[in-house]
Structure 1
Amino acid sequence: MALGIQPLPTEVVNLIAAGEVIDSMAAVVRELVENALDARAKRIVVSLYPDQWRVRVADNGSGMVLSDLVQAAVAHSTSKIRQCEDLWKITSLGFRGEALHSIAQLASLEILSRASNSSEGWSVTYNAQGEAVDVSAFAIAPGTVVTVSNLFGSWAARRQGLPPMSQQMRAVQAIIHQIALCHPHVTWNVQQNGREWFSISPGVTARQILPQLLQQVRLSDLQQLTIKVPTPQAVGVQGNEGVGENKPDNTSIYNSSDQNSYVNSSLYIVLGLPDRCHRRRADWVRVATNRRMVRSPQLEQTILGAFQRTLPRDRYPICFLHLDISPHQIDWNRHPAKAEIYLHHLTYWQEQVAQAIEQVLRINPELLPETLHTERVTQLLKASEAQGGYNVGRSIQESPPKQSTNKVNDIGLIELRAIAQVHNTYIVAEHPTGLWLVEQHIAHERVLYEQLCDRWQLIPLKSPVILTQLTPAQLEQLQRLNLDVQPFGEQIWAIRTAPEILAQRDDCQNALWEISLGGDLQTAQVATACRSAIRNGTPLSLKEMQTLLDQWKNTRNPRTCPHGRPIYLSLEESALARFFKRHWVIGKSHGI
């Protein structure tokens, strides 16, 4: 007999809702830590007791007065929003008023807190409905300590369905790592069973945090960029109808035609230089929005696409992207844990991200911290020489050299001057902060590859190239690349068009055979560039070396060749100074 439709009891509704918000120990840590950050905490201590299913989070934030403490775990109670309109201008990490109430449903909850402007601290214990059942005065420093005990104790099926505790601890670590990247100013101390597990020191930006999270990644392997980005401002927001990542831009609620409606947002990106570090999996391509890590498959694919043909095969970049944009640009009400969002004008943001990555990957002195450091060291040396009675390695002064005709382009590319060739393979290039050793073949390969990508121009051949014994797959490949291929006899074909860059080469026949072996257009362009680039062992004049350097430094991705090999080796002037002990005081080095 079918049961009639009846409303669920309140306790069942609350338990179902709690299970959606708090689905693991990592979720408890996330919610409590986000509350601490909303309270402007600068130091957070997370204590984990896995065997007891217990979590404690202590912070030095603004704390709570008694009236707020009593109300804190009541269902849908929050200090973050007041009315419907506030949903479209969320600036805090939490706002739904569900976390503490959900935790109280699933565990024993106790909060100790003292407001920063109060001399009194309080201890409050809550029942399963989030009501305060035990309130007492407590001596505590300004801040808050939340203790969650016996998590899922009343829900044995949930405990049994969770992964092993070791895997849960890795999830907790990942959560804290992600939040630390978004809040680099915070000091973190994480303990497990009373012993320190790991800690994270604060930094100015995420660039200082990332080496603490990834082994074998050094600060010098990372580059960062912060830029202001004009973004359309919302007008007449009534709801989220017609907007979202999967909606066309013409359904947006933004009036992008009104130039006065634009406001500045910021885009921050820190990435591992492709010639220095990369990963076996795409597990460190991360996206954050307004200080919260989110999943955005479209932006993640944009990042991966921007690194295309800069990394070795089956390797992935290290990249953290943080968009700090108007709350009106985001709808957080997509996922219970706010891990997914609707981002308006997604295509626009994808373009901005791709352009930012392209700018960071260029060789730009404004993005080279060594340059500024070396300039400061040089100024200090000159100042000390002027005050002292000695000179450091000073040579006879010649007449001032003529100003270089090589001008820095509009994004400030660094000046390079060819001075020698080593083993007819490496170009020695001087630049303002030291020396670079550039391998000529792969530098030229990068130049040719980008030229081919920009203009894959096919031209008629004066004399057709004859290829024999082509397989059906090879013939299909040549036709896919739009080459004019015509039968010329039994198992003989005449190629009447070819890429311009190959048509003038003596080995055009071999090159066409090579690109017939398979792959897409991009693979063929890589093969063509590799075939066409000058070979190692080829002597070059200074003029030829300078021309190659000028072409190479203006490429979009000058750090690696299309196969992912590093193109240059940097020897900075600061490293030379350390090696030759230029920091020594000359008198002391002689025992004076």
Structure 2
Amino acid sequence: MPTIRRLPEHLVNRIAAGEVVERPAAALKELVENAIDAGAGRIAIKLVDGGLASLEVSDDGCGMTPDEMALALERHATSKLPHEDIEQVGTLGFRGEALPSIASVSRFTLESRPQGAEQGWRFVVDHGTRQESGPAALPQGTRVRVEQVFAKVPARRKFLRTPRSEYAASLDVVRRLAMARPDVAFTLEHGDRRILGLQQGQELADRVAQIVARELKDNSVAIDLERPTESGTMRLTGIAGLPTYNRGVADHQYLFVNGRPVKDRLLTGAVRGAYSDMLARDRHAVLALFLDLSPEEVDVNVHPAKTEVRFRDAAGVRGFIVSGLRQALSTGDRRSAQSPDAAAMGRWQAEPVREEPSALRSIFEGRDWSAPQSRVAESPSAWRGEEREALAPLQGRAEEAPPVEEDAPDYPLGVARGQVANTYIVAEAKDGLVLVDQHAAHERLVLERLRAARAGEATTRAQALLMPDVVELEEEACDRLEEAAEKLATLGLEIERFGPSAMLVRSLPHALARTDPGKLLRDIDDDLVRHGIDDERGALLLGEKLDLVLATMACHGSVRAGRTLRVEEMNALLREMERTPRSGQCNHGRPTWVKLSMDDVEKLFGRH
């Protein structure tokens, strides 16, 4: 039988380093967190080769005496747990393992000078072996330099990635920590380049926009909500991008708990749930959310790198985030994050008449038009009657609009003037030209009607079918729909089993009275396969899943592209959009309307 023995100190440090120092970015995170905990107002970071060659963090914090520095290089020595109550941690770092762990796998130089000291002090540790100590010249604060990471641990070194990848990871660390502390100035240099220069005392929205994307500030809504808990108050702040301002990956979601950057499944799931009926499944929101709650309500000691947390009331936290995000996004209901696509705008000047509807479509769908452009230069004869018809069929239609009273209100979406390709409504507003995607807009309106009925805990008004419709499906699909029948009935969709492989549709929601029952049931079954309908964890998740079903139903009940609308129908649609929350984007995150300001229109004609 193997003999049990104590591990030598250097091996213990190596094991601890494996938990804390996975790569240079992990060491950088620990050092920047220490600087923040030391009360720094300015933090300067320098990287060489993504941190593989060296990384340095300097701050103007409280500094340390030589004795404190020596103690800090010992394992499990920390100044951040004065009362030994790990549940009441109020700092970013507290384990006391970071410095000795980093020093055990690199050449580590620690310099510090406390306030009032005549000079600073330096300690140098080379892969766990203390080499020198002595006076150092530096201003008040601390400077840490880490070089040759894993140089003497080749088994770990070979798992490091390229300098470019390590730099990207380090940049992400700095961005997240800088975002959490707009009161602290940050600079980041990589080699000879200045990457970040963030001023001290910025507003949160300005700091987030400067780090993520400057246009985010104008394409987002502010969040500041509170909810009482058993041990205090839970608060959610930050900014959330409009659904129409989205990305193809979730890398631009920044989540914080008590000022600590985290990557937590519960929080990311809550974000996904909040945007579920406003984004396509392959698109992701852009946001920065800061959740603050009593330390007793959250355990931050569940992961060595402190990137994961555990909540005492996970369902309550999730519900607070979902409802808070949805409430905030509803305040931006008539905003669309997408201005007219630049490439599409260029096609107004460069494309033949027959292709202009495609340019319109690209404005709403964000397509990348790379076709070669050429200036239109058609002969006057091309506009004689029969030749014009041969060139392209007319796709625009206008009819005389009813007169608008002089004292009529200034409608934000204007007054309808016509329809293009039986798909886009053209309206004239006081400050510009409005283009509306009629299908996308009406899809959102139908969804909000269905959601409003469900929110009122009343059954959605149903339209009974004169003759019940029999829909043949696979037996497994019938099983799923039968299980969901009671829930679907509250939405106005009454169905029942009709043999082993068929469903009987007795009524449809009033807003969907003209839809094809068979196609509707098949699409709802697809949603049930992806998301289910019952959930043991509470009604909140069930509500979100029903919202997904509602979104499918709304798509069936909306005005289709290609349908001719009368002017009064167009105006009715515009007025309802102005009254409806979240009408600025369809159920898939695309804009329902865009506005060309009069300046934009005049530029098209060279008046600027």
For 2:33, what is the secondary structure of its paired residue? Answer: helix
1:566 lines up with 2:569 in the alignment: no
Partners of 1:81 and 1:525 lie apart in 2 by 50
1:274 lines up with 2:278 in the alignment: no
Tell me by how many angstroms 1:534 deviates: 3.7
For 2:138, what is the secondary structure of its paired residue? Answer: coil
Partners of 2:316 and 2:604 lie apart in 1 by 48
Partner residue, 2:527: 520
Partners of 1:366 and 1:142 lie apart in 2 by 51
1:127-526 maps to which residues of 2 (within 5 A)?
Answer: 133-136=132-135, 138-192=136-190, 194-196=191-193, 198-202=195-199, 204-214=202-212, 218-234=215-231, 262-263=232-233, 265-275=234-244, 277-364=245-332, 416=412, 419-423=415-419, 425-426=424-425, 428=427, 437-453=435-451, 454-455=453-454, 457=460, 459=462, 461=464, 463-464=466-467, 482=485, 483-484=494-495, 497-501=506-510, 504-505=513-514, 508=515, 511-518=516-523, 519-520=526-527, 525-526=550-551
1:107·1:152 contact (CA, 8 Å) conserved in 2?
Answer: yes
Instruction: Label 1:451 to 1:337 Cα distance change in 2 as closer, same or farther (>3 A).
Output: same
For 1:27, what is the secondary structure of its paired residue? Answer: helix
Tell me by how many angstroms 1:99 deviates: 1.0
Tell me by how many angstroms 1:497 deviates: 1.0
Partners of 1:94 and 1:38 lie apart in 2 by 8
Give the CA RMSD over aligned residues. 4.1
Tell me by how many angstroms 1:30 deviates: 0.9
Partners of 1:486 and 1:97 lie apart in 2 by 63
1:438·1:568 contact (CA, 8 Å) conserved in 2?
Answer: yes
Tell me by how many angstroms 1:309 deviates: 2.5
2:75·2:100 contact (CA, 8 Å) conserved in 1?
Answer: yes
Tell me by how many angstroms 1:272 deviates: 2.0
1:74·1:129 contact (CA, 8 Å) conserved in 2?
Answer: no
Partners of 2:138 and 2:512 lie apart in 1 by 80
1:268·1:321 contact (CA, 8 Å) conserved in 2?
Answer: yes
Tell me by how many angstroms 1:353 deviates: 0.8
Instruction: Label 1:130 to 1:434 Cα distance change in 2 as closer, same or farther (>3 A).
Output: farther
1:266·1:323 contact (CA, 8 Å) conserved in 2?
Answer: yes
Partners of 2:480 and 2:169 lie apart in 1 by 46
Partners of 1:469 and 1:345 lie apart in 2 by 44
Instruction: Label 1:462 to 1:3 Cα distance change in 2 as closer, same or farther (>3 A).
Output: closer
For 2:251, what is the secondary structure of its paired residue? Answer: coil
1:31 lines up with 2:30 in the alignment: yes
2:112·2:143 contact (CA, 8 Å) conserved in 1?
Answer: yes
1:361·1:558 contact (CA, 8 Å) conserved in 2?
Answer: no
1:91 lines up with 2:90 in the alignment: yes
2:225·2:324 contact (CA, 8 Å) conserved in 1?
Answer: no
1:440·1:534 contact (CA, 8 Å) conserved in 2?
Answer: yes
Tell me by how many angstroms 1:504 deviates: 4.8
Instruction: Label 1:471 to 1:142 Cα distance change in 2 as closer, same or farther (>3 A).
Output: closer
1:73·1:130 contact (CA, 8 Å) conserved in 2?
Answer: no
2:336·2:585 contact (CA, 8 Å) conserved in 1?
Answer: no
1:125·1:135 contact (CA, 8 Å) conserved in 2?
Answer: no
Deviation per CA, 1:107-161, whole angstroms, max 9, x where unpaired?
Answer: 222222223444433333347668684121x332222211122322332221123
Partners of 1:368 and 1:484 lie apart in 2 by 37
Partner residue, 2:360: none
Tell me by how many angstroms 1:338 deviates: 0.8
For 2:289, what is the secondary structure of its paired residue? Answer: strand
Tell me by how many angstroms 1:427 deviates: 6.7
Deviation per CA, 1:232-290, whole angstroms, max 9, x where unpaired?
Answer: 254xxxxxxxxxxxxxxxxxxxxxxxxxxx34x42113222122x21222233332112
Partners of 1:347 and 1:110 lie apart in 2 by 45
Which one is further off, 552-561 or 307-316?
A: 552-561
Partner residue, 1:43: 42
Deviation per CA, 1:155-212, whole angstroms, max 9, x where unpaired?
Answer: 22211233334322222122112222212343333333x4125214247345334444
Q: How many equivalent residue pairs?
A: 501
Partners of 1:270 and 1:298 lie apart in 2 by 19
Tell me by how many angstroms 1:481 deviates: 6.8
Tell me by how many angstroms 1:94 deviates: 1.2
Partners of 2:184 and 2:109 lie apart in 1 by 24
Partners of 2:261 and 2:590 lie apart in 1 by 31
Tell me by how many angstroms 1:571 deviates: 5.6
Partners of 1:107 and 1:286 lie apart in 2 by 30
Instruction: Label 1:486 to 1:154 Cα distance change in 2 as closer, same or farther (>3 A).
Output: closer
Instruction: Label 1:36 to 1:224 Cα distance change in 2 as closer, same or farther (>3 A).
Output: farther
Partners of 2:221 and 2:127 lie apart in 1 by 47
1:62·1:143 contact (CA, 8 Å) conserved in 2?
Answer: yes
Which one is further off, 452-461 or 349-358?
A: 452-461
1:437·1:569 contact (CA, 8 Å) conserved in 2?
Answer: yes
Partners of 1:495 and 1:368 lie apart in 2 by 41
Tell me by how many angstroms 1:298 deviates: 1.2
Instruction: Label 1:547 to 1:40 Cα distance change in 2 as closer, same or farther (>3 A).
Output: farther
1:421·1:540 contact (CA, 8 Å) conserved in 2?
Answer: no
For 1:5, what is the secondary structure of its paired residue? Answer: coil
Aligned AA (2:257): T
Tell me by how many angstroms 1:451 deviates: 2.7
Deviation per CA, 1:431-463, whole angstroms, max 9, x where unpaired?
Answer: 9x9886544443222121233344474857452
Please report the TM-score for the alignment, with normalisation by the length of structure 1: 0.72
For 1:514, what is the secondary structure of its paired residue? Answer: helix
- Could you tell me which runs of 5 or more consecutive residues in structure 2 were left unpaired when the two chains were aligned: 338-405, 486-493, 529-545
Partner residue, 2:55: 55
Partner residue, 1:124: 123
Partners of 1:562 and 1:368 lie apart in 2 by 13
2:301·2:309 contact (CA, 8 Å) conserved in 1?
Answer: yes
Partners of 1:170 and 1:302 lie apart in 2 by 26
1:109·1:126 contact (CA, 8 Å) conserved in 2?
Answer: yes
Please report the TM-score for the alignment, with normalisation by the length of structure 2: 0.70
Partner residue, 1:68: 68
Partner residue, 2:100: 101
For 1:323, what is the secondary structure of its paired residue? Answer: strand
Aligned AA (1:497): R
For 2:247, what is the secondary structure of its paired residue? Answer: coil
- What's the % identity of the aligned pairs? 27
Aligned AA (1:533): S
1:429·1:438 contact (CA, 8 Å) conserved in 2?
Answer: no
